[in-house]
């Protein structure tokens, strides 16, 4: 039983990792970023490339992937998202296009494969990342097994949640973000530079996706379309948790992780996933505002 709960916890922490960035972007800007999964993928590829070409370990890749995705986030915000504020569904469609572009960029090695240039680590193939020995050897406590890598993911996701909370509630920047969430026009009238804050929020969310990508790369297959299913899961978590609620996102990822883990143990993974979808639909119909909501929408 304890193992099942631990598996659920691990599943939940992975959901949280993906959902955190989405939650911030959606909550504060009203933007549905369908390219979030692809940003996770870029984070994973950053790890692969850093390992192949620079010999960097997984730990060192965490800040690197954050920076890469942060920068990419700034670009996406500047060229696409900025023009679509207030057009919720259009952000969804445009970022879906961006997602296709990002996937193809990796697959075609940024278009260089057209000229016969190959970059090791890119292309349509499968990639994987070495995990530091420290995190790869399972630890037995009596009969009980602890996977250090999964524990590491749980710790990192909690850490990121805490950092995000601190950013939102203890800094001037966070205050501004929350002001914009409440009322964008009022915030602008009070002298907040909405554009700049939004750009940074989006980039931060993208950066979180990058870190999530590093974590994924350690135990999942790294490939160009690894992100497409992640964004759906992340998005379900955000909506179930309640738009704009950090705590809601944490609770929802924990809940869905446990549901998934328990039903996977009782029956099988397919049924478990079906039940997760069912639970999500039921919760949205029952409480459209989400489990814990920050503001009505």
Partner 1 sequence: MLKHDHLRIAAYAIFIVTVLSLPVFFDEFWLNRASKYLVYGMLGIAISLCWGYAGILNLGQGLFFGAGAYMLGMSLKLASPTSLQQGGAGPVPDFMLWNAEPGAVTDLCCINSGSYLWLPFQSQAFGFIMAIVLPVLLAFILGSVMFRKGVSGVFISIITLALVLLVRLLVVDAQALTGGFNGLTDLGGLTFGGYEFDPYSVATYYLAAVSLILILLGTRLLVNSRAGLVMQGIRDDENRAKYLGFDAAAYQTFFFCVSAAISGFAGLLYVVTSEFVSPTFMDLAFSISMVIWAAVGGRGSLLGACIGAIVINMLGATISESEVFVESWQAIVGLFFVLVVLFMPNGMAGVVHGWCRRLTTKSSKSEIGGQLQ
Partner 2 sequence: MKFTNRISCKLKLGAFLGAVSLLTSGLTHAAKEIEVGVLFSQTGGLSIVEKSLASATLMAIEEINAKGGVNGMVIKPLVEDGASDPKTFNEKVSKLVIRDKVATIFGGYTSASRKAMLPVVEKRNSLLFYPTFYEGFECSKNVVYTGAAPNQQLNNYIPWLVKNLGKKKFFIVGSNYLYPKEMAKVAKTLIEENGAEWVGDEYLALGHSEWSSMVKKIKDSGADIVLSNVVGGSIISFYREYANQGISQKDIPIASTVTSEIEVAAMGGKFAAGSYTSFPYFQAVDTEANKAFIERYRAYTKDETAVTHHAMESAYSGVYLWAKAVSKADGIKPNEIMEATKGVSFDAASGTMTVSADNLHTSMTPRIVQWNEDARGTIVDEFSAPVIPLPYAAYGETAGNLFCSESGLDSSKL
Q: Which stretch binds partner 1 (CB under 8 A): 39-47, 48-56, 96-104, 208-216?
A: 96-104
Q: Which stretch binds partner 2 (CB under 8 A): 29-37, 79-87, 124-132, 192-200?
A: 124-132
* DSSP 8-state class, residue 222: B
Q: Which of 67, 75, 126, 232 binds partner 2 (CB under 8 A)?
A: 126
Q: What are the Cα distances from residue 175, in Å, to 28, 165, 192, 259?
A: 11, 11, 10, 34
| Whole-angstrom distance, CA of residue 150 vs CA of residue 84 | 38
Report yes or no: 210 and 26 within 8 Å, Cβ to Cβ. no
Q: Which stretch binds partner 1 (CB under 8 A): 103-111, 148-156, 188-196, 256-264?
A: 103-111
Q: Which residue lies nearer to partner 2 by CB, 4 or 175? A: 4
Q: Tally helices (H) and strands (E) across the chain.
A: 12, 2
Q: Which residue lies nearer to partner 1 by CB, 112 or 159? A: 112
Q: Which element (helix H / strand E) includes 141?
A: strand 139-141
| Whole-angstrom distance, CA of residue 167 vs CA of residue 276 | 31
Q: Which residue lies nearer to partner 2 by CB, 31 or 212? A: 212
Q: Which does 119 bind (CB under 5 to 8 A by kind): partner 1, partner 2, none?
A: none
Q: Which of 199, 223, 231, 256 binds partner 2 (CB under 8 A)?
A: 223
* 83 is a contact residue toward partner 1 (CB under 8 A): yes
* 288 is a contact residue toward partner 1 (CB under 8 A): yes
| Whole-angstrom distance, CA of residue 53 vs CA of residue 127 | 14
Residue 37 has phi, psi (to 5 degrees) of: -60, -35
Q: How far is the CB of 279 from partner 1 (least distance, A)?
A: 9
Whole-number CA gyration radius for the chain: 19
Q: Which residue lies nearer to partner 1 by CB, 140 or 286? A: 286
Q: Which stretch binds partner 2 (CB under 8 A): 19-27, 66-74, 188-196, 224-232?
A: 224-232
What torsion do the CA atoms of 66, 67, 72, 75 make, to the nearest 10 degrees?
A: 130
Where along the sequence are the contacts to partner 1 (CB under 8 A)?
Answer: 32, 34, 80, 83-84, 86-90, 92-94, 96-101, 104-105, 108, 111, 113-114, 228, 232, 235-236, 239, 270, 273-274, 277-278, 280-281, 284-286, 288, 297
């Amino acid at each position: 039983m304890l193992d099942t709960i631990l598996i659920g916890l691990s599943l939940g922490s992975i959901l949280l990792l993906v959902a955190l960035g989405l939650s911030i972007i959606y909550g504060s800007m009203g933007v549905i970023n369908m390219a979030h999964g692809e940003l996770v993928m870029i984070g994973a590829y950053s790890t692969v490339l850093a390992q192949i070409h620079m010999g960097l370990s997984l730990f060192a890749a965490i800040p690197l992937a954050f920076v890469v995705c942060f920068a990419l986030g700034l670009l996406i915000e500047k060229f696409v998202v900025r023009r679509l504020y207030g057009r919720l569904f259009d952000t969804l469609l445009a970022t879906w296009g961006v997602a296709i572009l990002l996937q193809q960029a990796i697959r075609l090695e940024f278009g260089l494969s057209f000229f016969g240039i190959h970059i090791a680590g890119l292309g349509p193939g499968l990639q994987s990342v070495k995990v530091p020995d420290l995190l790869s050897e399972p630890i037995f406590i009596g009969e009980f097994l602890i996977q250090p890598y999964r524990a590491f993911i749980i710790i990192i996701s909690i850490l990121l949640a805490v950092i995000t909370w601190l950013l939102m509630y203890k800094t001037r920047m966070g205050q501004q973000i929350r002001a914009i969430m409440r009322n964008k026009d009022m915030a602008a009238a009070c002298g907040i530079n909405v554009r700049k804050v939004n750009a940074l929020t989006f980039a931060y969310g993208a950066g979180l996706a990058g870190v999530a990508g590093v974590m994924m790369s350690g135990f999942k297959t790294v490939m160009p379309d690894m992100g497409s299913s992640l964004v759906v899961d992340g998005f379900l978590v955000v909506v179930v948790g309640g738009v704009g609620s950090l705590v809601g996102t944490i609770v929802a990822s924990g809940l869905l992780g446990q549901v998934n883990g328990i039903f996977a143990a009782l029956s099988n993974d397919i049924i478990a996933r079906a039940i997760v979808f069912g639970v999500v639909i039921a919760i949205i119909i029952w409480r459209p505002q989400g489990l814990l909501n920050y503001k009505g929408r």
